Structure 1
Amino acid sequence: MKPPQFDYRAPRTADEALDALADGGAKVLAGGQSLIPLLNMRLAAPSRLVDINGLAELDTVEVAGGGVRIGALARHTRVERDTGAAAAQPLIRQALRHVAHPVIRNRGTVVGSLAHADPAAEMPAVLAVLGGTVEAVSATGRRTIPAAEFFAGPLEPALRPDELAVSAFFPAAPRRTGTAFAETARRHGDYALAGVAAVVTLDDDLRVTAARAGYLSVGGTPLVLDLTEAAASAVRTGDWPAAAGYARARLDPGDDLHASADYRRHLAGVLTERALRAAAEEALSREGL
């Protein structure tokens, strides 16, 4: 398989990169773990490839401003191993451990995964459930795009053709908050048949004050459900199956060659219960309980 012909640019500054994107028809190359297969299968045919690997200023992982900001060239492996990022928001590391295989994580980037907007990918669900943002720049300015608006459809980020996604921001975990990630795939490293990113916050009496779950592989975009009411009993006697049932009733996955809609819905319910329970246990552990 060979990609279609394209013009290749390797800018050395952000301004050069934005100039290369200004007239549209271009694709940005960072890790290339999603883009290159699309090119080779001729599912994408950009007029120009803009290789941003020369923009060292985008290779950053910063814990500041109440969360973790990840630059567009930070590889999955680097972010996964960053102890500061894991302490501020454990869900990032928990999810990255499920992303493909080490060889993919060594090259793929977190922001690239978000910009690819694959509904079966882990990091879009994480950004969505945490209420994070993506920062995009163009020759005409800079804007911050909330996760709820960023994923417009399957493989369709809310980026204009002239925009470059330069970073993503993941809010830190509040006090008495635990997180967990669970997914099931036919083989380790394959795209998940279903996956859940869970966030649970407790009060002083160890009751659930907030419970959310972000889902992958159950729709065209990451889906976030507020499960607080269904999981509001005391943690040590929490009715997690009720929360899972509440989630199942609100999921509407489709059929495909990998799994039926009914199987995906059932699986998502099982993973919801598992992830919520693990997140609550982590919240207790962080409080030394």
Structure 2
Amino acid sequence: MTYWVPPGGLPPQTDLTTGQSGRAVFTEAYAVLPRGTMSDIVTSRLPHWTDTRLWVIARPLSGFAETFSWYVAEVAPGGGSQRPDDDPDAEAVLLVVGGAATLAVDGTERALRPGSYAFVPPGTPWTLRNDGDEAATFHWIRKAYERVDGVEVPAAFVVHEDDVAIEPMPDTDGAWGTQRFVDPLDVRHDMHVNIVTFEPGGAIPFPETHVMEHGLYVLEGKAVYLLNQDWVEVQEGDFMWLRAFCPQACYAGGPGRFRYLLYKDVNRHPRLTM
């Protein structure tokens, strides 16, 4: 498996504005942040993190993502945090895409490498550090956990995607499949963060239209994606946000696999008041 890692930097003054970053689109139904938008000048810093920068590619905002935030974090050698998140309601999924890091959850340390996936429940102490000699890059997806009386909060876990089978969608001959890191029937979880894979020529052959909000980050390959009424060409490193009920479909058109990391909110009553 391969994973796109943002290179940072700045485009040269000779580049056209309508080049890579010129594909950026922001609408009421969806947004596309091409990989060229993730330059040095749009990085952020966080309190209690050292030698770390991140690209904030989604955040709760009126008219944009409502249920989650999504960072692409880059931790320099020697960097990290002993106090990564002070929000007691925040649950997190981490997916490492470059370098290596050490994650400690409830005092238990685990070595992370590209493809390592971690779930951290709300209110759970955790730390992360980079003891290596190259930058560690990871996706960090956060959601305010929705507690339900009589339903336990799920436990932390760490797994590698190599150990999670791709489950083919019915009647696709394996052209479209999903790696599910939690049991879809486990209602303790109120978000799913999966990896979706299409073989060349694979497709979503109908416009999915549903209540779940989506974030999609392309890890590998290229495709044409239907977003509302628009067919948009996307490639590795691009991020898409899809509002609830935004119609979506996909054709994988590259010579290799098309894979993306997918967020969706699940298993809870829709809120009736804001």
Q: Normalising TM by the smaller chain, what interval?
A: under 0.3
Tell me which protein shows more strand as a share of its residues: 2
TM-score by length of 2: 0.27
Greater share of helix: 1
Larger Rg: 1
